[in-house]
Each structure stands twice: as C-alpha cells, then as structure tokens.
C-alpha cells in the first residue's frame, strides 16, 4: 500500500506540473484545459476563482459521467480532484510565461510526455483513477475497445466543447490529442501494480 500511495501522489503531482508546462508553452492547450480555460475565462476569472480550482471543479463534474459506467471512486479519485489543480496553480506561479519559441516547444513536448507518464503512474497505482481517466477506463471496461482509441476519442470531444467556449486551441492541442492515447497505452502497463 505504501508503494501504491507514493506512486499515486507522484503521478498526480506530475500531472499537475504537466498542465502548467502545457499552459506556459502557449502553443495550444491540452483538450481538457481548452475546456477548463473556456470555463475559467467565461465564469471563474471575473469572480476571482483560480484556473486550478476550475480544473478541480470540472473534475468533480466529470464524476457524474461515471454513474452509467458503474465506475467506483477510490482514494486516487478523491486525491486527483484535490491535487492536480492545486499543483497546476503552483506550477503556473513558478514557470515563466515570457519564453522564446524553442523553450515553449520544449515545454509542450515535456508536458505531453509527462502527462502520459503521470497518467500511467497514478492509474497504475490501482487506488482509483481520476475523474477524467475513470471515464476512459470505464468506457474501455464496458466496450473492450483499446485504451488508445478511447482516450483519443474523449480528447477530441473535449476539444470541440472547449473550442465552443472559446478555449485556446492550437498545434499543441492537436499534438496532445493525437499522442496522449498511445502514450497512456505504453505507460499504463509499465506502472500497473498487480494485486
């Protein structure tokens, strides 16, 4: 259990940092953050709510989609809702925003790869997936479809909704949407702890 908890929290911290890296790259947000930014700019920012809190609140809202999939939350689910947005806020406070294009491109690539590693680590800990990944694993469990295709379909759907809310879509968004499924497909088996 100690190893599971350590892996869970390392994965969640990495996930939050990956969000901050992608946001600071300013080359297009990952799909969920396109949605988060749209909600943040339209609703939360005028009222003084932070970007990270929006990430956490949308995570809570996604839990409602678990009901028809009969997914059960665990310690990891609750920790996800509390940790990721908080760490993303910390990262956004510390990562500079006035970087040149080569550094921003590096941040984008690092953020995407770190996100794949983080997803594999915290899901693989077996303490309950986060709201967004629980949606993915629930669909995979119910349909038998490959993780990479389910994850990619979810990401593309979220891009569309986020774009309708005027979230930032760019090259980074497309790159993330097309690569995160295959990355999670690789890293999830590597980090899965067997019971």
Tokens representing 108 are 């984008």
Question: Over pLDDT 70: what percentage of the chain?
Answer: 99
Residues found in the chain: 195
pLDDT single digits (tens) 86-104: 999 999 999 998 899 999 9
Over residues 114-126, the mean pLDDT reads: 92
Distance separating alpha carbons of residues 78 and 84, to the nearest angstrom: 11
Q: What is the 3-state secondary structure (H, E, C) of 83-127?
A: HHHHHHHHHHHHCCCCCCHHHHHHHHHHHHHHHHHHHHHHHHCCC
Above 90 in pLDDT, residue 194? Answer: no
Residue 70: how many other CB atoms lie within 10 Å: 9
**Residue-averaged pLDDT of the chain:** 91
Residues 136/150, Cβ–Cβ less than 8 Å = yes
How confident is the model at residue 99, as a pLDDT? 92
Above 90 in pLDDT, residue 187? Answer: yes
DSSP string, 23-60: HHHTS---HHHHHHHHHIIIIIGGGT--HHHHHHHHHH
Question: Over pLDDT 90: what percentage of the chain?
Answer: 57
pLDDT single digits (tens) 43-85: 887 788 899 999 999 999 998 899 888 888 889 999 999 999 9
How confident is the model at residue 58, as a pLDDT? 93
Q: What angle do CA 75, 29, 54 make, to 5 degrees?
A: 45
How confident is the model at residue 177, as a pLDDT? 80
pLDDT-derived band of residue 29, with 50, 70 and 90 as boundaries? very high
Above 80 in pLDDT, residue 195? Answer: no
How confident is the model at residue 23, as a pLDDT? 94
Residue 182: how many other CB atoms lie within 10 Å: 16
């Amino acid at each position: 259990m100690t190893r599971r908890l350590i892996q869970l929290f390392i994965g969640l911290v990495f996930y939050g940092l990956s969000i901050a890296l992608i946001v600071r790259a300013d080359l297009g947000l990952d799909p969920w953050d396109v949605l988060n930014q749209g909600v943040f700019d339209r609703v939360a920012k005028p009222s003084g709510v932070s970007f990270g809190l929006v990430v956490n609140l949308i995570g809570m809202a996604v839990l409602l989609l678990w009901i028809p999939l009969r997914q059960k939350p665990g310690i990891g689910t609750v920790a996800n809702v509390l940790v990721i947005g908080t760490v993303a806020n910390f990262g956004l406070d510390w990562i500079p925003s006035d970087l040149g294009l080569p550094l921003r491109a590096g941040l984008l690539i690092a953020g995407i790869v770190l996100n794949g590693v983080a997803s594999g680590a915290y899901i693989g800990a077996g303490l309950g997936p986060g709201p967004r990944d629980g949606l993915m694993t629930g669909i995979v469990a119910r349909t038998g479809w490959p993780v990479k295709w389910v994850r990619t379909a979810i990401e593309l759907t979220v891009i569309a909704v986020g774009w309708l809310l005027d979230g930032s879509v760019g090259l980074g968004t497309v790159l993330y949407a097309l690569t995160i499924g295959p990355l999670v497909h690789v890293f999830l088996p590597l980090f899965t702890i067997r019971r």
